[in-house]
A and B are shown apart, each in its own frame.
Chain A
Amino acid sequence: MITITDLHKRFRKTEAVSGLSLEVPEGQVTAFLGPNGAGKSTTIKCLLNLHRPDSGTIEVMGGDSRKLGPAQFTQIGYVSENMELPLWMTVKQFFNYCRPLYPNWDLGFEKQLLTQFDLPTGTKLKDLSRGMRMKAALLSSLAYRPKLVVLDEPFSGLDPLVRDEFIRGLLELTEQEGWTVFVSSHDIEEVQRLADRVAIINRGKLALDETSDSLQARFRAIEVVLPDDGRAPVNLPTDWLHAEQAGRTLRFTASRFANEESLAAALRGAIPTATHHEVRPMSLREIFVALARAYRLEGK
């Protein structure tokens, strides 16, 4: 659905994106994660032809992103946290204004989402709360049933109820052929149940691109109990991240867990004195935090 190849984008002295390559497959929800300033918004703006890349190419729905125009935009829904909306319009005027721009606008779907989102049609956009305004923006981007939905930090600052309504609204589109979502966030918490794939950007480059299932399969939190006065060896396997010892307990994150047997064997090899150990699956959020810490250490 989207293929980004060696994307570079610089703003004066700041290199926002430096050689990012990423594939967003059709029919899935891909979460695009990274700390603030990692280059997420710049990447999204490049792929929607709102910024011109310095170099590299982006293919969106089979065409060059630099040639995206009105015809393609009727197939793409885009909501960004700092989107400029015509604030002087009422909700109703806003939808009246959007409708003719999209020949595929679905009036029935608009009505359904309007009821579901509980939007006051007579209120001006500038008088709406942030959450309500985001819902209005989402409605205006879903009502024409786009094939590709691109969301840039859509959840930041939304309360849990509005976030829940927002996600539900998004999932209303799922009957669509080739339904694809690309959603950026600095916080995995917001998307961890929704994401089929996780792509992490760090310092303008792709740091990770993997399915949620495979991430949850290969990461484990391990606790090892050492004998009295036992010290863990200094050189532990490199795929054991963030080893920390407190008293007799050594904790680390195994990043290439395959099964209990091979882990036990590796433990016997690395820490022969260990008395016993526990293995616990990790949430995507915990995995994200462990990875983010590892990237920060790499950068130093």
Chain B
Amino acid sequence: MLPFSIQLQDGSPVSDQILGAVRKALLTGQMRAGDAFPSVRTLSQELRISPTTAHKVVLLLKDAGWLNSRPGIGMVVTVPDQPDLAERLAQITPECRALLKEAADLNLTLNQVIQHLKSL
């Protein structure tokens, strides 16, 4: 069993999909700081992916500051130090602008868009 939800799709690279799923689990609180994170072996076996890919995912998560290795325990989830809210929101502003424009073109209301975002 993996502590995050994932349904691998064909299309984008497997490692990108796992990173996305892990980030989402951390955002939604499905996984929290201090939780144990599955080993490369478990990831590979549960998802039926090559251990090389599983290893890459763990390294990427470590680099991004989401994982820490604790001797004797294995990988533990950590939450990296965050820049302040304004800065983080600024990072997603271009995507949000594009989304709103697209939504307006499609004649969707802001509430409909928010509902949809929540359902993702």
Q: Contact residues of A with B, CB < 8 Å?
A: 27-29, 164, 167-168, 171-172, 174-175, 179, 192-196, 212-213, 216-217, 280-286
Q: Measured between C-beta atoms, what is the minimum distance from A112 to chain B in Å?
A: 12
- B15: A residues at CB distance < 8 A: 213
Known: A168-B45, A175-B41. A196 touches B10 (CB 8 A): no
Cβ of A282 and Cβ of B11 under 8 Å apart? yes
- The size of the chain B interface, using a CB distance under 8 A, is 18
Instruction: Compute how far the CA of A211 lies from the CA of B49 in the bound complex, rounded to whole angstroms.
Output: 14
- A286: B residues at CB distance < 8 A: 10
When the two chains form the complex, which single residue of A28, A172, A175 contacts B50, counting CB atoms closer than 8 Å? A28
Give 27 CB contacts A-B under 8 Å.
Answer: A28-B52, A29-B50, A164-B48, A168-B45, A171-B44, A171-B45, A171-B48, A172-B45, A174-B41, A174-B45, A175-B41, A179-B51, A193-B14, A193-B47, A193-B49, A193-B50, A194-B49, A194-B50, A195-B50, A196-B52, A196-B53, A213-B13, A213-B15, A282-B11, A283-B10, A283-B11, A285-B10
Q: Contact residues of B with A, CB < 8 Å?
A: 8, 10-15, 40-41, 44-45, 47-53
Q: Measured between C-beta atoms, what is the minimum distance from A28 to chain B in Å?
A: 5
When the two chains form the complex, which single residue of A28, A174, A192 contacts B10, counting CB atoms closer than 8 Å? A192
Q: Would you call the interface of chain B mostly helix, strand, loop, or mixed?
A: helix
Instruction: Compute how far the CA of A167 lies from the CA of B45 in the bound complex, rounded to whole angstroms.
Output: 8
Instruction: Compute how far the CA of A283 lies from the CA of B13 in the bound complex, rounded to whole angstroms.
Output: 8
- Please provide the 4 A-B residue pairs with the shortest distance between their CB atoms, ordered closest to farther: A283-B10, A174-B51, A29-B50, A196-B52
Q: Measured between C-beta atoms, what is the minimum distance from B102 to chain A in Å?
A: 13
Instruction: Compute how far the CA of A209 lies from the CA of B8 in the bound complex, rounded to whole angstroms.
Output: 24
Instruction: Compute how far the CA of A195 lies from the CA of B12 in the bound complex, rounded to whole angstroms.
Output: 14
For B56, the closest partner residue in chain A by CB is A213
Instruction: Compute how far the CA of A171 lies from the CA of B48 in the bound complex, rounded to whole angstroms.
Output: 7
- A167: B residues at CB distance < 8 A: 48
For B51, the closest partner residue in chain A by CB is A174
Most chain A CB neighbours (cut-off 10 Å) among B8, B13, B52: B52
Q: Measured between C-beta atoms, what is the minimum distance from A11 to chain B in Å?
A: 34
Cβ of A194 and Cβ of B48 under 8 Å apart? yes
Cβ of B13 and Cβ of A171 under 8 Å apart? no
Instruction: Compute how far the CA of A82 lies from the CA of B10 in the bound complex, rounded to whole angstroms.
Output: 30
- A212: B residues at CB distance < 8 A: 13
Instruction: Compute how far the CA of A28 lies from the CA of B13 in the bound complex, rounded to whole angstroms.
Output: 16
Instruction: Compute how far the CA of A122 lies from the CA of B41 in the bound complex, rounded to whole angstroms.
Output: 32
Cβ of A168 and Cβ of B41 under 8 Å apart? no
Instruction: Compute how far the CA of A225 lies from the CA of B41 in the bound complex, rounded to whole angstroms.
Output: 46
Most chain A CB neighbours (cut-off 10 Å) among B41, B44, B45, B51: B51
